[in-house]
Amino acid sequence: VSYTLRGRAETRLAALVPVLLGACVLSSALRHWWPVELVALMAAVGLFLDLEVWHRLLPYQPAWATVPLGAVELGALMAIVYGFGLHAPLWPAIALFATGWLTSVVLAQIGLPLLRLGYAEDGGELGRVGAVAAVAVVLAFAGSAATYVVRLPPVVHLSAGVHQGPLVIKQREVLQGDRGAVVRGGIVVAHDDVQIKNVTVIGGTNGITVDGVRNTVLDGVTVQGPKLDGIHVRLAGVVIRNCTVDMLGNRLGQGIDISFNMDMGMSMVEGCTIVGGQQGITTHSSMTDIMGNRVSRTTGEAIAVDEMSMGMASHNTVRDALGVGLYCGDRSMCMFDHNTVVGTRSDAGSGIRTRRGIAVLANFQAEVSLWQNTLVANPVALGAVFNSTFRTTSEPGW
Amino acid sequence: MPRVAVVGSGLAGFTAYQTLRRALEPGEIAVFGTEADPAGAWRVRAGAIRQQEMRSESDGHCLPTTFPGLAFGSVRSRRSLRPLLESVLDRYHPTVDEFLSHVARLRERSGWDESLVARRIERVQAVDGGFELDGDRFQHVLLAPGHPGLNVPEGLRGDPRVVHSYEPHDYAPSVTVVGAGLAAATEWLNALAAGAEVVSVRRHEPERRPLNVPRQYFSRRGLASFHRLTPRERVERIRILTAPSYPKGAQWDEPLERAAREGRFRVEPALNGSAQVICATGFRRGFRSDALLARLAADHDLETEDNWLVLDPDSTVPRLTDETRTLAVAGAPAQWAFPAADTLAGARYAAHRFLERIKACRTR
């Protein structure tokens, strides 16, 4: 077809309609926005290339050209996705793009010529159908944006001062603590899509309990003096950022314990400071990334990836741990990179050989990949027991 | 009595009929012509030059839409995906037999014979709300009169050695081919294959391009600028676009180079003493060469430019088309509106516009 400028744009928009509707359905089913975001990006990239590049370069576009043009558009799209950090899973995203590309090929070569007699002669212009397609695309994007805004959880402000807990959150909301907001007796998250920001929690059985819910975000929380764990996560997906957990004096509790959430996707602990406790950060049967945290003065292991977990511990600093610094145990698969482990102390009193101040320990068929960790002033740098293995990788990641 | 008429029962009229059938029943369309087989005239010409395959690519068919073209049929008949792949690469050329079968199938299933009125129309007269065709009244008329006749250069008329390439003929031991288009190129190869010594006489070196008109002129992209030209510029542009040409490719070049090395093929500026002169000089051009169009222009004082009837971009005659009636032209005389009007894609273009007019007509 020798497309006119308008014909290119109208054909592009018409081909986008079914893909966009599919993406909307997919987004609502997955409860993620990446399909709609990706299609919006596809539309932007496609229209830009149509108007600024393809129209100038191609007075006539043969059918075969859709393959290289599609490849260029996919490349541009992926560059933008990676450049702007859009969180879309790679293969589903490529599958969505391929579906969109295939739809446009089928429509341009078969559907639109059958629908509109003069499609080729009109240079791809669709007349009223083109206008309807443009309106449909705008409405779909506007509807998605409106849905996003409407679905934003309400923000509940927690005023400065001490609030008696335990505080149980039973609806989706953003609990935003004002400066000096303190909850005494703990917080329990009992609903999906809850965010807690800038709140200090003192005491409680656990400081913050997250159990059986999805999409919890804990951002800038401080936990002090819980009876058991600082942040206790079970069967739940969480992102924990910039937290402070003070477990000094608590020899049995864990600073952050994330367990049994393998089916909840990736969880993350990032930028937290944990002092004291038996284990600083521990995961069991979980996929959790542990990034850029500072853990010190623990009595068990500073960071433990345990019980068939898969996880990455990266750019963490561990100091003054008793017994073990980084631990990968019980058939877990661990990637430890760019961590610093300093001054691990031997737990001689325990009489256990694997607690004699080991910076990185792999235990019971665990597989550990190591890359560029700094291990300083530890009695033992590495230890692997019960058929566990270490592997030094040439690159970080899995 | 039908309200829509097609004047001309050749391939342009046939292609228009297929488009009209999208909206009209056979009983609502009258096709006037003396030849029941829409490919009758074309078949003779293709046979005369021993044409094996169509120059046109996937769009060279008589269906109203570009999809599906003939490649799908070829996939079935040849039991190979190659035609489809070639179509995607703009390399698919249906064979003449495939094209003729396609026409025959369409003729049978479209009701063509039901609509055909075996009569030559001599005069089109505009009347209130329509047109009178030798006494019968129609609201919407498409003129597809075909080529007005074979073109033989003035100086060669009456020469007993001369035969037009589109007339059935064999090859003498020495042949001069006049012309430089696809028919001429085909005749060079035919005569060489028959063992003849061939001389090419031509005024200009032929263009080498896949289609007779560049592709952008098949769509609004190229047509928009074409339609903006002044009448004089448009005459000149049509002359350039319709200059003789044939496709690039080894299937043309290698036999000619080989024959040239053997001394059996050469180019000369003028006729020599060949035993046979084949005029591959196409058709007579211009509305004045066609009695029906010449009479129409004279009767209604239509605007003309050089050899061309001035048409609107939608291939209609401006003075005789309004909200209540349509007079459109398809085929070679419509090149004023669509430079490739003498192709099947061009016939489809005129037909699409004609049908749009009919649909938009308030008194349809």
Q: Do A2 and B218 touch (CB under 8 A)?
A: yes
* Residue A311 main-chain phi, psi, to 5 deg: -160, 160
**In chain B, which residues have their Cβ closer than 8 Å to the Cβ of A113?**
65-67
Q: What is the mean pLDDT of chain B?
A: 91
**In chain B, which residues have their Cβ closer than 8 Å to the Cβ of A121?**
218-220, 223, 348-349, 352
Q: Do A120 and B220 touch (CB under 8 A)?
A: no
pLDDT of residue A178: 95
The more confidently predicted of residues B74 and B256 is: B256
Measured distance CA(B302)–CA(B311) in Å, rounded: 10
Q: Do A120 and B219 touch (CB under 8 A)?
A: yes
Residue A11 and residue A108 in contact, taking contact as beta carbons nearer than 8 Å: yes
pLDDT tens-digit profile of B108-150?
999 999 999 999 999 999 999 899 998 899 999 999 999 999 9
User: Distance (Å) from the C-alpha of residue A18 to the closest C-alpha of chain B?
Assistant: 21
- A250 to A207, A208, A294, A318, B69: CA distances (angstroms): 12, 16, 18, 18, 79
User: Distance (Å) from the C-alpha of residue A121 to the closest C-alpha of chain B?
Assistant: 4
**In chain B, which residues have their Cβ closer than 8 Å to the Cβ of A1?**
219
Q: Is A56 on the interface with B (CB under 8 A)?
A: no
The more confidently predicted of residues B54 and A225 is: A225
**In chain A, which residues have their Cβ closer than 8 Å to the Cβ of B219?**
1-4, 7, 120-124
* Residue B48 main-chain phi, psi, to 5 deg: -60, -40
Q: Is B308 on the interface with A (CB under 8 A)?
A: no
Q: Is A7 on the interface with B (CB under 8 A)?
A: yes
Q: Do A4 and B224 touch (CB under 8 A)?
A: yes
**In chain A, which residues have their Cβ closer than 8 Å to the Cβ of B215?**
2, 59-60
Q: How many other CB atoms are found less than 10 A from the CB of residue A115?
A: 13
Measured distance CA(B316)–CA(B354) in Å, rounded: 8
Does the pTM of the predicted model rise above 0.80? no
Strands B197-201 and A216-219: unpaired
pLDDT tens-digit profile of A370-397?
999 999 999 999 998 999 888 887 665 5
User: Distance (Å) from the C-alpha of residue A107 to the closest C-alpha of chain B?
Assistant: 11
Q: Do A60 and B88 touch (CB under 8 A)?
A: no
Q: Is A34 on the interface with B (CB under 8 A)?
A: no
Q: Is A84 on the interface with B (CB under 8 A)?
A: no
Q: What is the CA A205 to chain-centroid distance, rounded?
A: 28
* Residue B176 main-chain phi, psi, to 5 deg: -110, 130
Nearest CA in chain A to B219: A121
> B residues 61-120 near A, CB within 8 Å?
64-68, 87-90
Q: Is A2 on the interface with B (CB under 8 A)?
A: yes
pLDDT of residue A275: 97
**Which amino acid, one-letter code, is at B175?**
V
Q: Residue A126: name the closest of A1, A247, A301 by CA.
A: A1
**Which amino acid, one-letter code, is at A398?**
W
pLDDT of residue A397: 52
pLDDT tens-digit profile of A169-198?
999 999 999 999 999 999 999 999 899 999
B340-343: long-range contacts, CB 8 A cutoff, minimum separation 24: B340/B211, B340/B212, B340/B213, B340/B217, B340/B218, B341/B315, B342/B147, B342/B212, B343/B56, B343/B60, B343/B211, B343/B212, B343/B213
Q: Cβ neighbours of residue B17 under 8 Å, at least 6 residues apart?
A: B6, B29, B31, B110, B112, B115
Residue A357 and residue A375 in contact, taking contact as beta carbons nearer than 8 Å: no
Q: Do A1 and B219 touch (CB under 8 A)?
A: yes
pLDDT of residue B362: 67
pLDDT above 70 (res B2): no
Residue with token string 């959880």:
A153
What is the pLDDT tens value at each position of chain A, 398 positions in all? 889 999 999 999 999 999 999 988 988 888 888 888 888 889 999 999 999 999 999 888 888 888 999 999 999 988 888 777 677 778 888 888 899 899 988 998 889 989 888 898 899 999 888 999 999 999 988 988 888 888 888 999 999 999 998 999 999 999 999 999 999 999 999 999 899 999 999 999 999 999 999 889 999 999 999 999 999 999 999 999 999 999 998 988 999 999 999 888 889 999 999 999 999 999 999 999 999 999 999 999 999 999 999 989 999 999 999 999 999 999 999 999 999 999 999 999 888 989 999 999 999 999 999 999 999 999 999 998 999 888 887 665 55
pLDDT tens-digit profile of B323-351?
889 999 999 999 999 999 999 999 999 99
User: Distance (Å) from the C-alpha of residue B213 to the closest C-alpha of chain A?
Assistant: 13
pLDDT above 90 (res B233): yes
pLDDT of residue B141: 97
pLDDT grade, residue B308 (50/70/90)? Answer: very high
DSSP string, B255-283: HHHHHHHTTSEEEESS--S-SEEEE---B
Q: Do B352 and A60 touch (CB under 8 A)?
A: no
Per-residue three-class SS string for chain A = CCCCHHHHHHHHHHHHHHHHHHHHHHHHHHCCCHHHHHHHHHHHHHHHHHHHHHHHHCCCCCHHHHHHHHHHHHHHHHHHHHHCCCCCCHHHHHHHHHHHHHHHHHHHHHHHHHHCCCCCCCCCCCCHHHHHHHHHHHHHHHHHHHHHHHHCCCEEEECCEEEECCEEECCCEEEEECCCEEEECCEEECCCCEEEECCEEECCCCCEEEECCCCEEEECCEEECCCCCCEEEECCCEEEECCEEEECCCCCCEEEEEECCHHHCCEEEECCEEEECCEEEEEECCEEEEECCEEECCCCEEEEEECCCEEEEECCEEECCECEEEEEECCCEEEEECCEEECCECCHHHCCHHHCCEEEEEECCCEEEEECCEEECCCEEEEEECCCEEEECCCCCC
Which of B90, B216, B349 is opposite residue A59, by nearest beta carbon?
A: B216
Q: Cβ neighbours of residue A211 under 8 Å, at least 6 residues apart?
A: A188, A189, A190, A232, A233, A234, A235, A236
Residue A325 and residue A303 in contact, taking contact as beta carbons nearer than 8 Å: yes
CA angle B288, B292, B298 (to 5 degrees): 65
Q: Do A113 and B224 touch (CB under 8 A)?
A: no
User: Distance (Å) from the C-alpha of residue A108 to the closest C-alpha of chain B?
Assistant: 10
Nearest CA in chain A to B65: A117
